[in-house]
Structure 1
Amino acid sequence: MRARLALLVAAVSVLIVIAFLVPLALLLRTAAVDRATVRATADAQSLAPVVGTADPETVRLTVEQLAAESGRPVSVFLPDGDVLGSHSPRTPAVELAGRGQSLTAESADGREVVIAVQGRPDGTAVIRTVVPYAEMTAGVGRAWLVLALLGVLLVLIGLAVADRLARNLVRPIDELSAVSHRLANAELEARVQPAGPAELREVGGALNHLAGRIQELLVQEREQVADLSHRLRTPLTALRLEAESLRDPQDAARITDAVDGLERAVTGLIRQARWRTPTAGAASTDAVAAVTDRVAFWSVLAEDTGRAVELDLAPGPLPVAVPADELAAAVDALLGNVFAHTPDGTAFAVRLAPGGDHVMLTVADEGPGIAADSVRRGASQAGSTGLGLDIARRAAQASGGRLELGERPGGGAEVILRLGRATGTPEPQTRASGSPVR
C-alpha cells in the first residue's frame, strides 16, 4: 500500500507539473521564435531606406555587410529582375511582396521574411531574409532542461513528503496483515495492537474479535466431529458383523473390504476436519500400485455390466506427489464417471505413463463425451453431485499438475490427469476397496 500511495502521489505530482510546465515550455519556444523573427524583420527593415534610394552597387554592399553581421542570408530583388546579396529563387512570398505586401512565411529552411520597398523609380523592390530553425530555437533546449529538472525536483519533494505521511498509515496495516497471516497458519492466539487512524483501530478490534470467534467455533466443531466419529463407527461395526455372517466366503471378504475402505475414508475425513493434515510435500504414492488396485476393484462391476476394460500401465514404481487416499479418490472419481454417464456395455481404457516431470493417467471411454465445463465444482450434466472431476482436478493441482478434458479421435470422452512426480519414497499401498467417490 505504501508503494501504491507513493505511485498515486507521483502520478498527481507529474500531472500537476505537466499542466504547468508544458504550457510554459511551449510559451518559451514561441517567445524564442517571435524574438528571432522580430530581430530578422528589424534587420531587413533597416535596409529599406537604402534599397529605396541608393544605386544597385551601394545596395549590394549594404546587403552583404548586413548578411555578414547577422549570419542570415539576405537578398534584394530589384524590379528589373536583378538579385543582390544571397542568390535565391523567387519564392511565392517574394512574388506576393512584389505587389506591395510585406509578410512572413514558413519555408523548408526556416521562417521567410519579405519586405516590399516602394519608392524606386523603376518599381517595387523586395528584401528577403530567412530565419533558420537553429536561430529560432536557440536556448530553448537549455530552458526546457531547466524546467524538466525543476519538475523532477518537485516530484521528488512530493514523494518524500508523501512517504513520511504514508509510513504512519502503512505500519498498522502491515501489522494487521502479519496477524492475519498468523491466523491463517493456525496461530489462533495471535492478536493485533490497534493503532493508527480510527478506521484502522476499528479494523484491528474486529480482527481480534474474529480470531476469538474462530477459536470458539473450532472448539464446537471438534466436539461435533468427535460425536460424528462415534455415531458413524457404530453402524460400520454392524455392517462388518453382517458381512462376516455371510455364507459365501468371497462375498464376505469383498463386503468386509468395502466396509474397511469406507471406515478408512471416514477416518480420513474426520482427521481433516480436525485440522490434522500431513506435512506438505511429504506425501508420495506409487501411481502404478494405486491405479492397479482401483482398476481391479472396478473390474468386478465392469464385468457385471458387460464393459471391456483395457489396462495399459508403465512399469513401476511411478511415485507421484499425492497421498494414497487422495489418489485413490481421484481414480475412483474418473472411473465412477464412466459407469455413471455411459450406458452398460461401453468399453473404457486406463493408461498410465510417465511424461517428463509428470505422470499421465488417461481414462478414455467410447461413450457420448463430456462437457468442457463439467470440471467446475458442482456442475453436472446427469444429475450427480458434480464433485467427481473437481476432486480429481484438485488432486492433480496439489501435486503441481492439471486435469485435461478431451475427446477420442473415434468418439467418446478422454480425461487426462497430469500428476506431479515425487522424489520421496512412495507410501506402502494398502488395498482400498471402499465405495468409490462419484
Structure 2
Amino acid sequence: MRRWLALLVAATTSLVLIALLVPMALLIRAVAENGAMSRATAAAEYVAVAVGTPDLTLAVQQAGRPVTVFLPGGGTVGGQAPRSDAVLLAATGRSVTAAAPGGREVLTSAQTPEGTAVIRVLVPDAELTKGVREAWLALLGLGLALVVLGIVLADRLALAVTRPVDGLARVSHRLAGGDLSARAELGGPPEVRSVALALNHLAGRIDDLLAAERESVADLSHRLRTPLTGLRLDAEALRDPEERARVQSRVDALQRAVSTVITDARRRSAGRGTCDAAAVVRERVRFWSVLAEDQGREVSVSLPDAAVPVAVGAEELSACVDALLGNVFAHTPEGVPMAVRLAPHDAGVLLVVEDSGPGFDAALLERGTSGGGSTGLGLDIARRTAESSGGGLTVSTGPEGGTRVEVVLGPAGT
C-alpha cells in the first residue's frame, strides 16, 4: 500500500507540476526575448536621434551592440550588413523586426533632409536566451524537489495507515494461534480504530465463551460423578464375583474415559501449553520399555541432551507418544524392533517412531479405523496434537519396510 500510494502521489504531483512549470518555462523564454528586443529597440531609438548630425558615428559606437545605419544615399555607418527586404520595408517608414543570421534584427527609420535612414540593431541568439537555461534548470530542480517531498509525505501518511493495519494482522494471527490475551492498539485513522475495537471485542467475547465452556466442563464432571458412583455401588452389590469384577472394570473404564474427555476439553479451553519434548518422550519411552522387554523388542532411542521446548502441553504430548508407541505394540508381532528419535527440524521439532513390522495400511490413517481391535483414534490423536502446535503428521514406509511415523511439533513461543 505504501508503494502504491507513493506512486500515485508521484504521478499526481508530476502532472500538476507539468501543467504549471511548462507554461512558466515558456513564459520565462518569452520574457527573456522581449527584454532583449526592448533593449535593442531602445538602442535603435538612441541612434535614430543622432541621424543627420555629426554625432552619428559616436552614437553608433556608444550603442554597445552591433548597429548599422543605412543612409539615404546608399552609404552605411557602423557594422556591415546587407540591405535585405526587411531593410527596404523599414525604409518606407515602418518599424520592422525580422530574423537574421545569428539572431534577430530590429529595424527602425529616421527622417533626414536627404531622405529616410534605416537603423538596424542585431540581437544575437545568445542574448535572446540569456538566463533562460538557468531558469529552466531551477524550475526542474524545484519540480523534482516537490515530487520527492510529495513522495516522502505520502510514505509517512501511508505508514500511519499501514502500521496499525499490520498490528491488526499480528493480533489476529496471535488469536488464531490460541493467545487470547492479544489485543490491538487503538491507533491510525478512525476506520482502522473501529476495526481494532471490533477485533478486541471479538477477542473478549471468545475469551468469555471459553470461560463459560470451562465452567460447563466443571459442571459436567460433577453431574457425572453421581451416576458413576451409583453404577459402582450396583456393581459391588452383585453376588457373582466374576460378574461383579467384569461390571466394575467396565465402570472403571467408563470413568477413565469420562475423565479423559473432561481433561481434554479443559486443556483445549485453557489454551495451548508448552513442555520439554525431550523429557516427555524420555519418560514415556521408559514407561513402554518394560512392556518392550517382556515382548523381546529392541528399542532404539535417540534424544537430545538439552531441553527441547515445543508448543504442546506435557499431557498432550504424552498422549501423542503413548498413541504412537501403542500402535507399534498393537499392530506388530512380538520381538519386532522399534526406534524413537527426536531431533530439530526446519519447522520446529521432529519426532520419529518407526518399526520393522509388516508395514501400514493406508486405511488406518482415517479417524476411527483400526486393524487391531482398538478405537482407531491413535494416529488421529497424534495428528491433532501436531497440528495444534503448528506442525503436522506423515506416515510412510521405513527403510526396512516397516511403518515410519513423523510428527512435526512447532517450537514454543510460536
TM-score, structure 2 length as denominator?
Answer: 0.45
TM-score, structure 1 length as denominator?
Answer: 0.43
Q: Over alpha carbons, which structure has the higher Rg?
A: 2
